[in-house]
Structure 1
Amino acid sequence: MGVVPDLDRGRRFLAAHPPPGRVLLLAVTGSHNYGFSSPDSDLDLKGIHVAPTERLLGLGRPAEAHDRLEVFDGQECDLTTNEVGRAMSLMLKGNGNMLERIFSPFQLVDTPEIPAMRVLAQGSLSQACFGHYAGYFQGMQREHTRATPRAKSLLYTYRVALTGVHLLRTGEVEAHLPTLAERYGLAEVEELIAIKAEGAEKQALTPAEDERFRAAWPRLEQMLRDAKEGSPLPERPQNRDAVERWLIDLRRHELLGA
């Protein structure tokens, strides 16, 4: 389901707005990765870059994030890359935004660091991710109820909760909502995706539709709590030392070129 993202457009946008350092990873996230994009969906580009090591040795510190948002070749492109030190710190804290970009199937650059980062990310998975997904789920519920009820924001509540449930239960980062909904028996998601696909990115819901689909929120919240209680993942990441060694080696390589 959903529209296939234009990876070439994403690469051109990156070339037009490069971050202040070598790009290690750049992925399509957002509704294209979640399986419910519309023809007018924006292109969410999230990545990781490494600042030149010299920038870390002086009095100043390089910016931790690089952001660009504009309409490019007829499509809104939203680019954010994080400096690798910040990215690894967030990963160890169970930040789902960082985990999802690392494991996204839609990668725009090919670097030798991607396999290593995926190994480190897999080894870092822990119950710490519960805070991210539970908090994000609550935040998306508030966002949905504050404005005109839309299919997109309601789909986000399902997606966030089910990604968290699946990660806590299986140790797998899966952001594709149709796959998750089928696995966890939420057949109504297919109908909700169809409503969005037949309309537009900001397709509104009728009051009856909104009430019917929101009825799943208590179940999703309970599923998250149950997944946390029964999770086989460790309470905290077990590979902090390995992540630090890799980061030091990376910075040394960037400085010395060998």
Structure 2
Amino acid sequence: MAGVPNMLLSGIVGSTAYGLAGPDSDVDRLGVYAAPTVAFHGLNPPTGRDASIVSHDPDTTYHEAAKAAALMLGGNPTVTEILWLPDDLYEVRTALGDEMIAIRRAFLSAKRTRDAYFGYAVSQLERLLRTGQFQSKMRKRQAKHGRHLLRLLDQGFHLYATGELPIRVTKPQRYIDFGEAVAADPQVARPVLAEADERFNSVQSALPAEPDRPAIEAWLHRVRRAYLDPA
């Protein structure tokens, strides 16, 4: 967090937040900050890669408010979870950060949620299949991908069906066992994906067809007003 100006919201995410951390797990952090409003009127506004502050070992990612909002509107599971953390995992919560949490459902839409969470899970399987020939060297990494594949399917379905995103998993050992199973044989994940697809098809989503963009726009305008350069 050192050196990141105007932090609005930050907290502990990843395996620690899910309840899946092992003895070798890092503590990952995610946050939302506000660039000074005047910066958007210069030659190099903070957009794209310039709107994210990233470091590794452990993974720490802070997105500028507009970029964070855009990623959430797209259903990005990794970024969206910052709005649904248990209270004890937040490390910074400002008034504007609390406002963002208060409108968290405004970012959601049924199709984007399904496509994002299910799509991320499919990408996890593809990664597992690509590295299958190196299982002896990459077993821990593959087990991690397997755990997160199952978590994404469960979290995504719950969010799609109920409008609520659970962060901590209820039965960690189930995910650990599944991770070990797919590390040994990635094909084990295929029927789980097929079953998840059927689950999504079996319910009427609690989410709207489109996000509430005016509510998000109004919040972002409040952020920009708060960080205007007095000069």
Partner SS for 1:26: strand
Q: Which structure dedicates a bigger proportion of its chain to helix?
A: 2
Q: How many Å separate the matches in 1 of 2:181 and 2:124?
A: 19
Flag the 1:25–1:206 CA change in 2: closer, same or farther, 3 A: closer
> 2:30 aligns to what?
46
> 2:44 aligns to what?
60
RMSD, aligned α-carbons: 2.5
Residue in structure 2 matching 1:91, options 49, 64, 72: 72
Equivalent residues, number:
215
CA contact (8 A) 2:122 2:193 kept: no
Q: Which amino acid aligns with 1:81?
A: Y
Q: How far 1:216 sits from its partner (Å)? A: 5.2
Residue in structure 2 matching 1:167, options 140, 159, 162: 159
> 1:233 aligns to what?
207
Where structure 2 has 5 or more consecutive residues not aligned to the other structure, the ranges are none
Q: How many Å separate the matches in 1 of 2:197 and 2:14?
A: 21
Q: How many Å separate the matches in 2 of 1:125 and 1:87?
A: 13
Q: How far 1:82 sits from its partner (Å)? A: 0.6
Flag the 1:38–1:22 CA change in 2: closer, same or farther, 3 A: same
> 1:184 aligns to what?
none
CA contact (8 A) 2:125 2:149 kept: yes
Q: TM-score, normalised by structure 1?
A: 0.75
Q: How far 1:65 sits from its partner (Å)? A: 0.6
> 2:126 aligns to what?
142
CA contact (8 A) 1:162 1:220 kept: no
Q: How far 1:108 sits from its partner (Å)? A: 1.1
**What does the per-residue CA deviation read over 1:199-242, in whole Å, with 9 as the maximum and x for residues that have no partner?**
xxxxxx478x734x8635423443245325621211221x1011
Q: Which amino acid aligns with 1:152?
A: K
**What does the per-residue CA deviation read over 1:61-107, in whole Å, with 9 as the maximum and x for residues that have no partner?**
122111112xxxxxx32111110001111212222122112212211
Flag the 1:116–1:37 CA change in 2: closer, same or farther, 3 A: same
Residue in structure 2 matching 1:30, options 6, 9, 14: 14
CA contact (8 A) 1:66 1:82 kept: yes
After superposing on structure 2, the runs of 4+ consecutive aligned residues of structure 1 that deviate more than 4 Å are none
CA contact (8 A) 2:11 2:91 kept: yes
Q: How many Å separate the matches in 2 of 1:206 and 1:85?
A: 40
Q: How many Å separate the matches in 2 of 1:59 and 1:133?
A: 36
Q: How many Å separate the matches in 1 of 2:80 and 2:181?
A: 34
> 1:245 aligns to what?
218
Q: How many Å separate the matches in 1 of 2:191 and 2:16?
A: 26
Flag the 1:191–1:236 CA change in 2: closer, same or farther, 3 A: closer
> 1:6 aligns to what?
none
Is it true that 1:109 corresponds to 2:89 in the alignment? no
Q: How many Å separate the matches in 2 of 1:137 and 1:67?
A: 23
Q: How far 1:191 sits from its partner (Å)? A: 5.1
Flag the 1:192–1:52 CA change in 2: closer, same or farther, 3 A: closer
CA contact (8 A) 1:90 1:98 kept: yes
Partner SS for 1:47: strand
| Percent of residue pairs bearing the same amino acid type | 30
Q: How far 1:29 sits from its partner (Å)? A: 1.1
Flag the 1:217–1:118 CA change in 2: closer, same or farther, 3 A: farther
Q: How many Å separate the matches in 2 of 1:221 and 1:110?
A: 39
Q: TM-score, normalised by structure 2?
A: 0.83
**What does the per-residue CA deviation read over 1:27-76, in whole Å, with 9 as the maximum and x for residues that have no partner?**
2111111111012101111111100111011222122111112xxxxxx3
CA contact (8 A) 1:91 1:124 kept: yes
